[in-house]
Amino acid sequence: MSKKAVVILSGGLDSTTCMGIAQNEGYECYPITFDYGQRHKHEVEHAKQVAAFYKAPQHRIVDLTFLGQIGGSALTDASIDVPDYSGSEDIPVTYVPARNMIFLSLAAAYAEVVGAEVIYIGVSAVDYSGYPDCRPEFIQSMTQTINLATRAGVNEGNLKILAPLTHLSKAETIKLGLELNVPYQLTTSCYRGDEVACGTCDSCQFRLKGFEEAGAKDPIVYR
Ligand SMILES: [Zn+2]
């Protein structure tokens, strides 16, 4: 029986790289994608294409559009504008309150259901926007919590969260992904959610800079 991994797949660059890594590690991948009412909802369609590219046996798309009822983020509240990249150290308005805690909880539940031993999440603590739920301390603490909270944790006691991009810069992530033939042409990163990427939001800026530093060409189209 092959070992299984749940991969939190947004359809963006990092999570798609995680699909490539998990696949390369020999896992049978069970991607899970969250529709949380994000402004850039079309990323769900990109996630579907990535899942199909990797011939995932099953792709769960979970409806979390009720997160809009919590609001508090430019990504889930249409009345808050997505700012251009500013390089500020403050946690930006694109932060979605407790998002990765919610995502990992659900990914853990799914891992239990499909019998996966690991959960992949594409967080990085290097080229990121200062989101607290991307820090390694959080991933570590969540691993402990998940093992305390689940049957899989009690019976096997070692459901792992793997965050292989934690210490990689965007350029390093892209270089690794290109070696693994990750289909970046199928991914999307822009927060604004228009058909064509804006090139100026945090997410576009990190991506563009990453490709430049990796000495590679970003295959997607910008405005
Ligand atoms: Zn953008």
What one-character-per-residue DSSP string does 171-220 give? HHHHHHHHHTT--GGG----SS--SSB-S-BHHHHHHHHHHHHTT----S
For the ranges 18-27, 146-155, 168-177, the lowest mean pLDDT is seen at: 146-155
Q: Of residues 95 and 62, which shows the higher confidence score?
A: 62
How many angstroms separate the alpha carbon of residue 106 from the centre of ligand 1?
A: 27
How many angstroms separate the alpha carbon of residue 41 from the centre of ligand 1?
A: 13
How many angstroms separate the alpha carbon of residue 202 from the centre of ligand 1?
A: 7
How many angstroms separate the alpha carbon of residue 198 from the centre of ligand 1?
A: 4
Q: Where are the alpha helices (DSSP H) in the chain?
A: 13-24, 43-53, 99-114, 136-149, 151-155, 170-179, 202-213
Hey, where are the domains in the chain? 4-213
What's the pLDDT at 43? Answer: 93
CATH numeric code, 4-213: 3.40.50.620
Residue 146 has pLDDT above 70, yes or no: yes
Residues flanking ion ligand 1, Cβ below 5 Å:
190, 198, 201, 204
The rounded percent of the chain whose pLDDT value lies above 70 is: 98
Q: What is the pLDDT of residues 194-212, one digit of tens each?
A: 889 999 998 999 999 999 9
How many angstroms separate the alpha carbon of residue 84 from the centre of ligand 1?
A: 8
